[in-house]
Amino acid sequence: MAKGNWSVNLETEEFILDRDLIVREAVKAVRDTGESHYVNLAVAHEHGQPDSYLVPALREAFGAAIDIDFVDQCGCGGYVYRVVKK
């Protein structure tokens, strides 16, 4: 069942240790999001700016079917992106 607007936390220890896990879970989260809805991705800062690895992976997986916006950088250093599924 597709979800409406929601958020996913990709900042816990298992994500800090495995950047590929961040990408896999972010792709899964977007797949689980219903059309015309969004998922906020809170991404661990330990792997650097997600524009260099996460955004390209999401573009490859979904192409023009999504919009990706940078929302904010948390006080803890993490990054928040909003992915809207068209």
Cα(10)–Cα(7) distance, integer angstroms: 10
Phi, psi of 81 (to 5 degrees): -120, 145
Residue 81 is predicted with a pLDDT of 97
Which tens digits make up the pLDDT trace of 41-64? 999 999 999 999 999 999 999 999
Q: Where are the domains of the chain?
A: 6-85
Q: Which residues of the chain have pLDDT under 50?
A: none
Q: Which architecture, in CATH terms, is 6-85?
A: 2-Layer Sandwich (3.30)
Cα(65)–Cα(81) distance, integer angstroms: 16
pTM of the model: 0.94
